[in-house]
Structure 1
Amino acid sequence: MSSEPPVRGWIDPNFPNPMGPGDATIIIYGYTPSIVVAILGIVLFALAGVLHIWQLFKYRSWYFSTMIVGIAFEIVGYVFRALSAKVDPYRVTYFVVQYFFIVVAPVFFAAAIYTILSLLINATGRHHAPLPPKAILWIFITCDVVATVVQILGAALIGIAESNRKDPTTPNNILLAGLAFQAFTFLLFIILLAAFIARARKVMFEVVTKWFYLAFIAAVVLFYLRVCFRLAETAEGLYGELNTHEVYFGCLEFMPVVVAVWLLAIWHPGRCVPRGTSVMRSDV
């Protein structure tokens, strides 16, 4: 009798495994990725990228260039997801590359979010902020980089474990640790943002319109929703409900990020947020 464990996971009966040197015995996604979702991702992020690039140069808002990098990462990620959908869903390389780019992209989006808060602090008065703008950037960007490196390591080890038919529990726990740390630090950022808004509420609309604030807050919540989804998905394990049904990916990973990116394209900080300290109040 063979000592190898039985194959566990999704095998598409309509897509025979090519059994190439780079193919896992199962589809690591937990399902066969939809080509529709992949194409929508490529198109919507590409269009948003054009709009962001145009405003980046028009308003010379170079500080917001991390959004462009994040969008480029999303496009690459969905291109490889499309390859998984139509060429070979069992290919470990396709899975790891799409996971890498789709997971890393929000780090650049988060950096842009932190930059916006720094601009708002400078525009309304630094005395409204619990932390200096530069400290916000350094602390939270560093935390995001650490969390993302741990996630990438965990995802890569999951791919290796599945391709070798090994137990992926330990790699999944590594991935879970990275996501938990990211969720915790982003929650701290949301608390910091709420504290700033509470302190600056008397002057905030003198500098920036309420629509920009609403769009910014919505984008922050959507990005956090995405982090929470990834955390819950990983906590369930590789064969959990969230990990084996693409509808959750579409609604809780794809859609929140797309909407957030478009919100920040429509209410672009280069157009909506003034540079420097525009409001000084002696009564605060």
Structure 2
Amino acid sequence: MAVSLVVQAVGGAMASTASNDPDGTKLGTNIMVSGVLFQLAAMTLFALLALDFLRRSAKLGMPREYNKVLIALFVSLAAIFARSIFRTVELLEGWNGYLMMHEIYFITLDGVLMVLAVVIFFPFDPAWIIPKNHRATEKDNGESSEFSTGV
């Protein structure tokens, strides 16, 4: 995901510094869009791998506590995914496009979705939900004490 953020930042910088050059602004915007599309592709791959993990681990009888964390993970992922689609369409419309010029879309399809992506983990914090006896410990790596989880 770091690659995606760097590409988006470079594109944004190019678009903002080329304010008097329409071709430079378009190139910067296109670079930003490619960063968002790369992010969507990486998230899609992550979701597919996570679903495969769930399929395989269901056979092992995963503890019920994990379900709450996994639901939160997929709600967060869906919110970020929807936001990325909005950002792609918004940028493809251009800096004077309909979505860019109407703040309500930015508030709901960007801000609210990002708040949801984070806030979902307040009640479903893995550090609180997953029992201590199911957490990875340093002992698993040849050490003797549990990792500090802040709990």
Which TM-score tier does this pair reach, normalised by the shorter chain? 0.7 to 0.9
Tell me the TM-score normalized by structure 1. Answer: 0.43
CA distance in 2, matches of 1:181, 1:239: 24
- The residue that corresponds to 2:135 in the other structure is 275
1:206 matched to 2:63? The reply is yes
C-alpha deviation, 1:214, in angstroms: 1.7
Q: 82, 86, 105: which is aligned to 1:248? A: 105
The superposition leaves residues 248-272 of structure 1 with CA deviations (integer Å, 9 ceiling, x where unpaired) of 1111111111112111121111112
SS in 2 for 1:211: helix
CA distance in 1, matches of 2:35, 2:68: 33
- The residue that corresponds to 2:122 in the other structure is 265
Structure 2 matches for 1:219-238, cutoff 5 A? 219-238=76-95
CA distance in 2, matches of 1:222, 1:170: 28
SS in 2 for 1:239: coil
Structure 2 matches for 1:102-251, cutoff 5 A? 144-162=1-19, 165-167=20-22, 168-203=25-60, 205-206=62-63, 208-251=65-108
CA distance in 1, matches of 2:61, 2:92: 39
C-alpha deviation, 1:157, in angstroms: 1.5
CA distance in 1, matches of 2:30, 2:80: 22
CA distance in 2, matches of 1:204, 1:210: 11
- The residue that corresponds to 1:82 in the other structure is none
Counterpart amino acid of residue 275 in structure 1: R
SS in 1 for 2:97: coil
Q: 1:171 to 1:209 in 2, by over 3 A?
A: closer
SS in 1 for 2:18: helix
C-alpha deviation, 1:209, in angstroms: 4.3
Counterpart amino acid of residue 276 in structure 1: A
SS in 1 for 2:21: coil
C-alpha deviation, 1:205, in angstroms: 4.2
CA RMSD of aligned residues (A): 1.8
C-alpha deviation, 1:246, in angstroms: 1.2
The superposition leaves residues 217-258 of structure 1 with CA deviations (integer Å, 9 ceiling, x where unpaired) of 111111111122112211222222222211111111111111
CA distance in 2, matches of 1:212, 1:146: 27
Q: 1:220 to 1:181 in 2, by over 3 A?
A: same
Q: Which runs of 5+ in 2 are unaligned?
A: 138-151
Runs of 4+ in 1 over 6 A off after TM superposition: none
Counterpart amino acid of residue 149 in structure 1: V
C-alpha deviation, 1:201, in angstroms: 2.0
CA distance in 2, matches of 1:204, 1:173: 46
SS in 2 for 1:188: helix
